[in-house]
């Protein structure tokens, strides 16, 4: 089904429709999680507007598709989330972390604009995960989606470092007092 009419006015009463036809209040935890997944996807879209190494660009595009799928899973109660997406993230974590220097201290968000945007996306991923956890605990959303969001925030941290490395930008390390 494709949307041909964007303005329906059905949400004027403070509810929104799920893909199964049911309606929930707009402040329902499921709707909050759907919104956060969408916000995360939009943050990645902003990051993708920057100049990025091809391998990182390709990975982020795959992640955007995964996040759209995850939003769909949340909009269809009882729908599964493909565990293979989680395995792909695990492989990406290993692949992109391989060439990074070992960390001796915490890294502060920053460096290049693209790396900083990647850090913002990481923070949004963590918040999205926090909103997703209660749904997964209550069996209202698949556990693999929660695990995916957890791994995604790790990957976004790694990608921020990889972007800085590719751009020849030094990371800002936290200074101990």
| Per-residue confidence (pLDDT) for residue 8, from 0 to 100 | 64
108 vs 130 pLDDT, higher one: 130
At 39-80, the pLDDT tens digits run 999 999 999 999 999 999 999 999 999 999 999 999 998 889
Q: Among 138, 124, 2, 128, which Cα is nearest to 70's? A: 128
What is the set of domains in the chain, with CATH numbers? 26-83+107-169 (1.20.1200.10)
Distance CA 145, CA 121 (A): 17
pLDDT (0 to 100) of residue 39: 97
pLDDT value for 23: 85
- Find the DSSP H helices in the chain: 29-48, 54-75, 83-97, 113-137, 143-166
With the CA atoms of 156, 158, 160 and 161 taken in that order, what torsion angle do they form, in degrees rounded to the nearest 10? 170
Specify the pLDDT at position 62: 97
Reply yes or no on whether the pLDDT at 6 is more than 70: no
Q: How many CA atoms lie within 13 A of 125 on its CB side?
A: 25
Report the percentage of the chain scoring pLDDT > 90: 70
**Is 90 exceeded by the pLDDT of residue 18?**
no
Reply yes or no on whether the pLDDT at 134 is more than 90.
yes
Q: What are phi and psi of 129, to 5 degrees?
A: -60, -45
Is residue 14 pLDDT above 80, yes or no? no
């Amino acid at each position: 089904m494709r949307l041909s009419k964007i303005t329906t006015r059905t949400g004027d009463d403070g509810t929104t429709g799920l893909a199964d036809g049911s309606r929930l209040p707009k402040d329902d935890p499921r709707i909050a999680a759907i919104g956060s997944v969408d916000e995360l996807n939009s943050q990645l879209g902003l990051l993708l507007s920057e100049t990025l190494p091809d391998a990182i660009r390709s990975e982020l595009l795959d992640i955007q598709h995964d996040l759209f799928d995850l939003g769909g899973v949340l909009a269809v109660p009882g729908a599964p989330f493909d565990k293979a997406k989680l395995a792909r993230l695990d492989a990406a974590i290993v692949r992109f972390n391989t060439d990074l220097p070992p960390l001796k201290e915490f890294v502060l968000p920053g460096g290049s604009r693209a790396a900083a945007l990647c850090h913002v996306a990481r923070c949004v991923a963590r918040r999205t995960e926090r909103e997703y956890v209660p749904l997964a605990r209550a069996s209202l959303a698949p556990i693999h989606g929660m695990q995916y969001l957890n791994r995604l925030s790790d990957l976004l941290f790694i990608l921020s470092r990889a972007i800085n490395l590719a751009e020849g930008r030094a990371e800002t390390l936290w200074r101990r007092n």
